[in-house]
Structure 1
Amino acid sequence: MSIRPTLEARKAMPTMEGAGVKLHRAFGFQDPSELDPFLLFDDFRNDRPEDFMRGFPWHPHRGIETITYVLQGTVEHGDSLGNEGTLGAGDVQWMTAGSGILHQEMPKGNIAGQMHGFQLWANLPGSMKMTAPRYQDVQGKDIPEIIDDDGTRVKVIVGEFWGKRGPVDGIAADPQYLDIYVPPNVRKTFKIDTYRRAFAYVFKGAGRFSDASAPQGVLLEKEVMGEEVNIRDLSGNRTLIRFGTGEEVTVQAGEEGIRFLLISGAPIEEPVAWHGPIVMNTQEELRQAMRELRNGTFIKPAH
Structure 2
Amino acid sequence: MSARTLQRLIPAVQTSDGAGVTIKRSLGQTPQTRLDPFLMLDFFGSDQPGDYIKGFPPHPHRGFETVTYMLDGHMLHQDHLGNQGHLKSGGVQWMTAGRGIIHSEMPQQDQGLMQGFQLWLNLPAAEKMQPAAYVDIRPELIPQVTLSEGNSAKVIAGLLQTDSIQQGGPIRGLTTDPQYYDLQLRAGSRVTLELPVTHNAFVYPYSADIYVQDDKEQRKVPQHHAGVLTHGNSVTLVATEDTKVLLLAAAAIGEPVVQYGPFVMNSTAEIEQAISDYQQGKLTANTAAGSIELAP
TM score, norm. by length of structure 2: 0.92
| CA deviation string 1:10-29 (max 9, x = no partner) | 32110010111001001115
Which residues of structure 2 form unaligned runs of 5+?
289-296
User: Could you tell me how far 1:168 is from its partner in structure 2?
Assistant: 1.9
Q: Is the 8 Å Cα contact of residues 147 and 191 (structure 2) preserved in structure 1?
A: no
Residues 187 and 132 of structure 1, relative CA distance in 2, 3 Å threshold: same
- Which residue number corresponds to residue 81 of structure 1? 81
- Alpha-carbon offset, residue 248 of structure 1: 1.5
**Residue number in structure 2 paired with 1:45:** 45
Q: Which amino acid aligns with 1:217?
A: Q
Matches within 5 A, 1:90-239: 90-109=90-109, 113-161=112-160, 162-211=165-214, 215-218=216-219, 233=220, 235-239=221-225
1:258 maps onto 2:257 in alignment:
no
Q: Which amino acid aligns with 1:70?
A: M
Q: Distance in 2 between matches of 1:174 and 1:44?
A: 25
CA distance in 1, matches of 2:33, 2:16: 24
Displacement of 1:82 after TM fit?
1.2
Query: Quick one: distance in 2 between partners of 1:249 and 1:238?
Result: 19
Per-residue CA deviation, residues 244-268 of structure 1 (Å, 9 max, x unaligned), is 11111111111x2221000000000
Distance 2:82 2:244 in 1: 36
Give the equivalent residue in structure 2 for 1:28.
Answer: 28
State the TM-score, normalized to the length of structure 1: 0.89
2:242 alignment partner, SS class: strand
CA contact (8 A) 2:172 2:178 kept: no
Q: State the partner residue of 2:232.
A: 246
Q: Distance in 1 between matches of 2:23 and 2:33?
A: 23
Give the whole-Å Cα distance in 2 for the aligned partners of 1:142 and 1:80: 26
Percent identical residues: 39
2:296 matches 1:296: no
**Partners of 2:10 and 2:33 within 8 A in 1:** no
1:33 and 1:126, CA in 2 relative to 1: closer, same or farther beyond 3 A? farther
Q: Alpha-carbon deviation of 1:195?
A: 0.1
1:127 is displaced (CA, Å) by: 0.4
Q: Which residue matches 1:228?
A: none
1:268 and 2:253 correspond? yes
CA contact (8 A) 1:32 1:38 kept: no
The CA RMSD measured in Å over matched residues stands at 1.6
Q: Aligned partners of 1:125, 1:10: CA distance in 2, in Å?
A: 25
Per-residue CA deviation, residues 64-103 of structure 1 (Å, 9 max, x unaligned), is: 0000000100111101111112100000011000000000
- Amino acid in the other structure paired with 2:230: G
Q: What whole-Å deviation, never above 9, does each CA across 1:165-200 have from its counterpart, x for those lacking one?
A: 111234332100000111110122111111000000
Taking the aligned partners of 2:83 and 2:35, their CA distance within structure 1 comes to: 31
**Paired residues, number:** 284
CA distance in 2, matches of 1:263, 1:171: 14
* Matches of 1:173 and 1:119, distance apart in 2: 18
- Residues 27 and 64 of structure 1: is their aligned pair in 2 closer, same or farther, counting only changes over 3 Å? same
Deviations 1:20-45 (A, max 9, x none): 10010011152368410110000011
Q: Hey, what's the Cα distance between the residues in 2 that align with 1:34 and 1:121? A: 10
Partner deviation per Cα, 1:211-253 (whole Å, 9 max, x = no partner): 45xx3222xxxxxxxxxxxxxx4x2321211111111111111
Residues 1:60 and 1:20: Cα distance change in structure 2 (over 3 Å): same
- Alpha-carbon distance between aligned partners in 1 of 2:22 and 2:147, rounded to the nearest angstrom: 36
Give, in angstroms, the shift of residue 290 of structure 1.
0.6
